[in-house]
């Protein structure tokens, strides 16, 4: 694995965590809109775990 790919995975983990926090915030305060963050959270989770 190259350092560029490793840096990309680190960025994917960071973006996943940010989108997960946004998901839970929206779930608590705007529960009818929580689904808007789902594609971002799941996409970055899949990329961070190197499944895509």
Encoded tokens for 14: 């960071």
What does the block give as tokens for 24?
């839970």
**How many structural domains comprise the chain?**
1
- Tell me what the mean pLDDT of segment 19-44 comes to: 94
Q: Does the pLDDT of residue 15 top 90, yes or no?
A: yes
Question: Exposed, middle or buried, 29 (CB in 10 Å: 0-12/13-18/19+)?
Answer: exposed
pLDDT, position 29:
96
| Cβ(9)–Cβ(48) below 8 Å | yes
The average confidence (pLDDT) of the chain is 89
With 0.95 as the threshold, say if the pTM is over it: no
Distance CA 37, CA 43 (A): 10
Parent domain of 29? 3-48
């Amino acid at each position: 694995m190259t350092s560029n790919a490793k840096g990309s995975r680190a960025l994917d983990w960071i973006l996943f965590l940010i989108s997960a926090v946004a998901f839970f915030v929206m779930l608590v305060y705007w529960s009818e809109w929580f689904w808007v963050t789902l594609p971002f959270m799941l996409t970055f989770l899949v990329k961070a775990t190197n499944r895509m």
